[in-house]
Structure 1
Amino acid sequence: MSDSIKSTDLTFPQVDTNFEPVLGGFVKRGFDIAGALTGLIVLSPLFLLVALLVRFSDGGSVLYGHRRIGRGGCTFQCLKFRTMVEDGDAVLASHFGANPEAKAEWDTTRKLKDDPRVTRVGAVLRKLSLDELPQIINILQGHMSIVGPRPVVRDELENYGSAAVFYLRSRPGLTGLWQISGRNDVSYDTRVAIDRHYVENWSLALDLRIIIKTVPVVCLAKGSY
């Protein structure tokens, strides 16, 4: 249904979570818990509405969990409302066979502007970033933060090179500096630089600014597909 995780581990910098303090410490974690609990309560009607739309669009599952890399290199199931057909891997392989340029786009950006796996309801959810709302649960579980680097799959960390260590010092975010800086319209190298800048310059004030700027970006669907 989505990009696959290779069974063999790739080599990338490791963070010793016993000695390396998590980005933001108790202040950031406390802010995450309070914000996620508030969001879960306030947005519960929207959760229900989206769940019903996904369920009745094709009768498939509502949620989808995909393995992503979190702090220190640990994997977790990153939750989303399902936006793709349930036989997505086969559909994608067939699409690549007929469209080599799409395979090149995927290899470069890990995204497709015209993804054949995305359902009609899914396209709307992605455009408005509503598919990512279940990640509030990931935040409460401690796997993610409200603000942080975009969660990646294991083989994507090769694209980070030596900057992977900065990604691994933080919890991936529901939103982040990348989301308000162009999202899919920026190159992957720029995305890596943005993530490094965020970790090196973190402050609670920066998180608040990013959250405030996320609202108009999501409403206007800038760089979203």
Structure 2
Amino acid sequence: MKKRYSFLIKPLQVLLDLILINSIIYLVYDKEFLNVYFLSYSSLFWLFTAYFTGFYKVFRFTKSLGILTLLVKQFFFFVLGYFAYFGIFREGEVVHNQFIILVSILISITVFKFLGYMLLQLYRSLGRNSRTTVVLGYDDSSKKVIQIFKSKANLGYQFLGFFTDKASSNSSYLGAFKDVFQYIEAHTVDEIYCSLSQFTNEQIKKIKKVSNAKGIVLKLIPDANELYSKNQSVEYYDDTLMVLNVKKLPFEFSENFYIKRIFDIFFSLFVCVFVLSWLTPILWVLVKLESKGPLIFKQKREGIHVKEFVCYKFRSMKINKKSNSHTIKNDARVTKIGAFMRKTSIDELPQFINVLLGDMSIVGPRPHLESLSIEYQKNVDEYLKRHIVKLGITGLAQVSGYRGEVLKKSDIKNRVRLDIFYIENWSFFLDIKIIILTVLNIFKGEEKAY
């Protein structure tokens, strides 16, 4: 049995943050005003906001962008509470060094948060603080999980092998499903990942029962080709009857609608005033020099509730009769300046005008041509669910690698799956995360941006 110290990581992080906050306040605060009430208030408010923002919910698979998102949420509420203290208890009095204290706290917490995150990843990449895992099944989804375990040592997973009823010559093959139980008796296994598409309900129930008895974490891998709904929660009646309660989608709450719309308006105004105002005349000259025709390309797209609207883009093609057909790689219709605009997504910028007009949102499922939309409806279940919200300039599917040309059926299925996930799990910070990833992808370059 391994000795486990992971449970100490979170308490130590909380303790370190509290020590940092109190040390900074004690060292920088004007001693004339320093009192135990402010120290207590700062500590308790920090803990209170951390609980509700999930600031310390950092897992092995949490990425650096996830850390940044947690910091932004935590700091937003902590700053409000920090100044509320002076407004309520000090009657608006400007106490010496209060801004220095706040900035010092924010910088220190940020540095130590990322430093701790990177050191823990380094520690795990050396084989420490690891979790031993086995995988049941060997389909496409299982292979992706195995690949992650093998390629990302910093996550701290020690992959032992996989089980499947189909015999395999792979060196990681450990046997059939029936061999799992003997294996976990003889070896220390911390987590089991089981493919839902490879085994029957009875087999899954059996492994679940054994996992619970052994204290092994069991995680189920869904079929990547299926579209799963997240808007259900379990309720128990009289401790015996289990029912599924269909929850409201985030956009069914009016406050979420207004938050998203207000953000869309202010962000779009910013882009129109500070980017489009000077970029448009420059592009007008460049586009006109290379090909005849207007700068702005107008195209009908299907939007919210499948209503048609005119979508605006900077023209990136020569004038042609097939402008309503989708673009392919090395498309002869695309001009040189058009290729650059497509590669950097500059051609999409006029869609911020669509956002101001209320036809689109900054983040959401991407709008498709009517001809493609009809085709996709036939091949993908729940396709029309994408249209219960405003479609977006960018979206979760696009930053996850599913943008541009649809080369195979799985591309559109995965795109729709991610679109539905976004609709069912929307939050303001998810929008911010997608916008940040979109900007990063523009600088990194994307293979299907043509």
TM-score (normalizing by structure 1): 0.77
How far apart, CA to CA, are the structure 2 residues paired with 1:74 and 1:199?
18
How far apart, CA to CA, are the structure 2 residues paired with 1:195 and 1:50?
32
State how 1:158-177 maps to structure 2 within 5 Å: 158=374, 159-160=376-377, 161-177=380-396
State how 1:22-171 maps to structure 2 within 5 Å: 24-43=256-275, 44-89=277-322, 110-158=326-374, 159-160=376-377, 161-171=380-390
How far apart, CA to CA, are the structure 2 residues paired with 1:151 and 1:21?
21
Larger CA deviation: 208-217 vs 38-47 = 38-47
Partner AA of 1:149 in structure 2: P
Give aligned pairs, total.
Answer: 189
Kept in 2, the 8 Å contact 1:148–1:172? The answer is yes
Structure-2 residue corresponding to 1:5: none
Unpaired segments of 5 or more residues in structure 1? 1-19, 93-105
Shift of 1:220: 2.0
Kept in 1, the 8 Å contact 2:328–2:405? The answer is no
Structure-2 residue corresponding to 1:211: 435
In structure 2, the CA distance between the partners of 1:111 and 1:188, relative to structure 1 (3 Å rule), is farther
Partner AA of 2:257 in structure 1: G
Kept in 2, the 8 Å contact 1:60–1:86? The answer is yes
Q: Which has the higher contact order (CA 8 A, sep 6+)?
A: 1
- State the secondary structure of the residue aligned to 2:397: coil
Larger CA deviation: 177-186 vs 213-222 = 177-186
Shift of 1:212: 0.8
Partner AA of 1:199 in structure 2: I
Identity %: 38
How far apart, CA to CA, are the structure 2 residues paired with 1:185 and 1:141?
27
Structure-2 residue corresponding to 1:194: 418
Deviating 4+ runs (over 3 angstroms): 20-24
TM-score (normalizing by structure 2): 0.40
Deviations 1:51-78 (A, max 9, x none): 2211222132111111000001110111
* Structure possessing the higher radius of gyration over alpha carbons: 2
How far apart, CA to CA, are the structure 2 residues paired with 1:30 and 1:86?
37
